[in-house]
Structure 1
Amino acid sequence: MRGYDFNFILQGICVFILVASIAAKLPSDIKPCAAGDGKCIIENINKVFAEKNQGDESFGLTKLEPFKMDDIIIKQDPANPVAIYLGLLRPVVYGVKNVRALKVKGFGKTPEGRHEILLETPYLSLLSDYKIDGKVLILPVKGEGKSNITLVQPLIKISIDATSRNENGNTFMDIKSLRVECKPKRLAMQFDNLFNGDKVLGENVNSFLNDNWKEIYGEVKIPFYEAIGKQMKVGAEKVFSATPYNEIFVI
C-alpha cells in the first residue's frame, strides 16, 4: 500500500526523460543531449528535479513539489495474507525535488527496444485521506482519516519497451509497455483514526504495520507496480506522441 508513494515521480518522469533534448523548447539553462549520451541525459533529468520542480511552462513541465495525484484504489483478494480494500484519496506527494537519476539505458538513435531509468531519493511521502478495511497478515484493519505513507531511500526502476513510427519525415516513439519497480530501505506508515479513533488499538495497529512492512510490501507491490505503470504509460504516450523522437534527442 505504499509502493505508490513514488507514483508522483512516475507521472512526471517521462517529462524528465524528454528533458534530454527538446532543443526548440528547452529552457536556455538545459543543454540538448545527443541520443544515447547517458551522462548528459542524467544531468538534465537531475537539473529538472532540483531546479524546476515548481514547473516550467516553456516545455510543458507541471508543478512537481508537491505533486498532486489521482485517487489510488487497491483491492486485494480475500485469500491473500494482505486482504484489504485501500483507498488513498486526494493524495499529495512530497520529496520529488530530491529525486536523482543514477543511470539510464537506451534512448539511442532509434526509439525501438528497451529503455531504462534508475532513480534514487532520500524519501517519498504520500499524504492523503484514506479508507481501509480488511486483514493485514493476522490483524484486522479498519478506519478512515488522514494517512502518511513514506518510502525511505527507495531505488526506482522504470522500464519502457517501445517501437518506432515514421510520420511526415519525423520519427516517433510508440510505447508498447511501461513497468515500474521500487526497492525501499524501509517503509514508514501512519494511519490516523483507525477503528473510529480508538487510540490504543490504532497505535498497536500502526506499530504492527511498521514492524511488518517487508511482508506487507511484498504482498501489495505487484498491484501497485501495475497501477503505476498503467498511469505512467498514459502520460508517456501523450508526451512521445506530441514530440518527435528526433526533436527530443539529437540523432
Structure 2
Amino acid sequence: MNYLLAFAFFVGIYHVRTADDFDLPDYMHQCDLDSKVFQKCVREEIEKSLPHFTKGIPKLGVASIDPVDLDDILIDGNGLKLKFTNAQLHGLSKMKLSDFEVEFADDNEKFNLALVANLSLTAKYNADGKILILPIKGDGDALIKCKNVEVEIASKLSHVKGDSGEHFKLTVPNYKYKIQSTNFDLKNLFNGNKQLADTTIQFANQNWEQLMDELAPPVIKQIVKTIVKTINKFFSKITINRMVKGYKKSS
C-alpha cells in the first residue's frame, strides 16, 4: 500500500504544472523555425486564432477585448468642449490581420502586425461650443462608427524567465493608424431641435477628419494598450518552445 501511495504521489508531482506551463489551445499549432514557410505558418496561425483570441481564452486567463471599456475622452480647444463618458469600444472581435512580420535576430527580435476592423464607440456625451463654424450644444447618447480602422503595431520582443522556460514579451510598442471614414450620431442635440441637430450632425460627418484628429488619438492609444496587454498575457502562459519549434536563443 505504501508503494502504491508513493507511486501515486510521484505521478501527481510529475503532472503538476506551473502557472506558466500550458499547451497551445487546440486551434493553434506550433511553427517550425527551421522551415522555409515559418513566416507563413505564424501568419496563418494568427489569422486562424484571432476570432478565439479576441473573445477571450479563459483557460489562460486571457480576457475578452470586445467591448473595451474606455477612459473618459475630453476634447477641449478651438472653441469646442466635448466630453465622452461611460465609453465602450465595440468590434475588435471582428478584426482581421492585414500585415504581419516576426524576426528573430540576435540583436533585434521584433513582432509587427497590422489589424483592421470596423469599430464603433458608444458613450454618453456632453457638448458645448462650435464644430468649426457651427454651434453645438447637448448631452445624451453618442454612437460613433468608424469604417476600416487599421492599426499597425511594431514592437520589440524581449524574454522573460518563467518557472517552465522562457516567454516572449512585447516591449516598447510603437504604432500608427488610419481611418477610412467616420459617422457621428449624437442624440438630444439642442434639446431635441431636429432641424438644428440634423444640420450640425451633417456638418460633423462631412468634416469628420478634423474631429477625429482630436478624438482618435486617445482611443487608438487605449486600443493598442489593450491589444499588447492581451498578447502579453497569452505569452506569459505559453513558453517560447511550445510555440516555436527549434528556437534556441537564451536570454
For normalisation by structure 1, the TM-score amounts to 0.71
Map 1:108-187 → 2, pairs under 5 A: 108=104, 113-121=109-117, 123-167=118-162, 170-187=165-182
Q: Does 1:75 align with 2:74?
A: yes
Q: Which runs of 5+ in 2 are unaligned?
A: 1-19
Q: Which amino acid in 2 is paired with 1:222?
A: P
What is the Cα deviation at residue 195 of structure 1?
2.7
Aligned residues: 224
Match of 1:28 in 2: 26
Q: Which amino acid aligns with 1:150?
A: K
Shift in Å, 1:52? 6.7
- Residues 27-66 of structure 1: per-residue CA shift (max 9 Å, x gap): 32332224593322222222234467654434445445xx
2:43 — aligned with what? 42
Matches of 1:90 and 1:229, distance apart in 2: 16
Structure 1 position 112, deviation (Å): 5.1
Aligned Cα root-mean-square deviation (Å): 3.4
Which digits, 9 at most, give the CA deviation of each residue in 1:193-241, with x for residues without a partner?
Answer: 1233222222122111110012222344333333434444444444444
> Which secondary structure does the structure 2 equivalent of 1:41 belong to?
helix
Note if contact 1:26-1:58 (Cα within 8 Å) is conserved in structure 2.
no
Instruction: Give the conservation status (yes or no) of the 8 Å contact 2:21–2:238.
Output: no
Contact 2:23 2:242 in 1 (8 A): no
Matched, 1:189 2:171: no
The separation in 2 between residues aligned to 1:167 and 1:92, in whole angstroms, is: 33
Return closer, same or farther for 1:242/1:141 CA change in 2, 3 Å cut-off.
farther
TM-score by length of structure 2 reads 0.71
Residues 1:113 and 1:82: Cα distance change in structure 2 (over 3 Å): farther
